[in-house]
Amino acid sequence: MNKQKICIIGDGLAGLTTAIILSKENIKIDLYSNSSKIFLDNRTTAISESNYQYIKDNLNFNNPNIFWPCKKINLYFEDKEKIVNFFNFEEKNKKSMYIFQNKDLRKKIQKKISATNKIKIIRKNIDSIDNEEGFISYEKKKVFYDLIILCIGGRSKLYTSIEKGRSIEKNYEELALTAIVKHNIKLENASQFFLKEGPLAILPFKKKVFSVVWSVGTEFFNLNKKNIEKIVSAKLRILLKTKSIKNIANIKSFPINLNLKTKYFKRNVLILGEGLHTVHPMAGQGFNLVLRDIKKLKGLISKSLKLGLLIKDSFILKDFYNSRKPENNLLGLGINLTNIFFKDSRYFSSLKKVILINMNKFTFIKKIGQSISDKGILF
């Protein structure tokens, strides 16, 4: 039997990770990269202990020094100008999360891909996809595949023939402000502050360097964008109780939306990555969900190949949809409800304060939260 062929469109972090992990199987992989688009991803990402181990094992990282281990995550809320620590996640025998810059992991994976002959990189812009016959077209050329995987970000015209507008969507009317901060303080673990302007996360990824992700309303940003660096700097000095902020660089802003696809595939074409689910960044679960999707897809493909079955027109994508949709939707909507809970509201502030102050007493909540953050919702 001829070796089966998979096409992956998109060379972002999701596309690269999917390609290198699926290359472990006895299949040919073509990875299509947008020939005209060069994007340096300076964002910082956090992944759970189990997902870190999955990446480490499948990418054969001998010395994965691009990952910063965090044993503890501290949570705070703002109460009448006071910052109150209400909850702490801490693992005794393992790390709570690992933090890295996207560009560093991309470089690692690209190096792995260049060293294998199982992945062919094709720098072409795709014109269209035929779901029924399973081919892609570019420059008046048709190429047929057993499976086509779309890893092309949150929105693309290539999704149209699959989803037909079917998705759970919400425009938060917020922007995520991201920046790289150099400092002279002792900071080893991650923190999340629920402020009146919006949630702010501090994610250390190197010694004396951390990334800040602050979700603020679009109106707040538009009113203050000329002074946004000074505002971020002043806020960090207050939260960290320090004057030792040396430099704030690479301030970027990204619109925040909720988008959960209700249809994952059509025939032999699958959506994967941010195109499948885009969630609020406050919980840091975006790439964790992507990795769990990749892990499930690889498992299904591996099982099929071991049984000598064809990938094309099989039950793989239906099984993937049935197994991954519940967790993706529940976590996406759960993060949305958490964001609503922490929104500044004078009608709810007293009750919210009572709930948060007593939260550390409920050890079962902590255990459930730690389990979900690490391994997701198990069905």
pLDDT tens per residue, range 331-375? 999 999 999 888 877 667 777 788 887 777 777 777 777 778 888
Are the CB atoms for 131 and 161 separated by under 8 Å? yes
The residue that leads in pLDDT, 80 or 337, is 337
Angle at 98 between CA 256 and CA 89, to 5 degrees: 85
The partner residues of 123 in beta bridges, in order of sequence, read 33
Partners of residue 297 on adjacent β-strands: none
More confident of the two residues 337 and 166: 337
**Rounded Cα–Cα distance for residues 28 and 164 (Å):** 30
Statement: residue 53 has pLDDT above 70? yes
Positive or negative, the CA dihedral 296, 302, 307, 308 is positive
Would you say the pTM of this structure is higher than 0.75? yes
Half-sphere exposure of 163 (CA within 13 A, CB side): 24
Do 129 and 158 touch, CB atoms closer than 8 A? yes
CATH 3.10.129.10 fits 4-43+106-169+261-375, yes or no: no
Domain ranges of the chain: 4-43+106-169+261-375
Q: Which amino acid is at 278?
A: T
Dihedral angle over CA of 276, 279, 285, 290, nearest 10:
10
In one-letter notation, the amino acid at residue 256 is I
Contacts of 282 (CB under 8 A, 6+ apart): 192, 199, 201, 215, 335, 338, 339, 342
Per-residue model confidence as pLDDT tens digits over 284-321 = 899 999 999 999 999 999 999 999 999 999 999 999 99
Residue 35 is predicted with a pLDDT of 56
pLDDT of the residue at 165:
62
Q: What is the largest CA-CA distance in the chain?
A: 69
Distance CA 316, CA 301 (A): 7
CB atoms within 10 A of CB 219: 10
**8 Å CB contact between 17 and 112:** no
| Helix or strand holding residue 187 (H, E) | none
Cα(289)–Cα(283) distance, integer angstroms: 12
Question: Residue 303 is which amino acid?
Answer: K
Alpha helix (H) ranges present in the chain? 13-22, 49-59, 102-114, 160-163, 218-224, 228-240, 286-306, 316-342, 349-357, 363-375
Percent of the chain with pLDDT over 90: 68
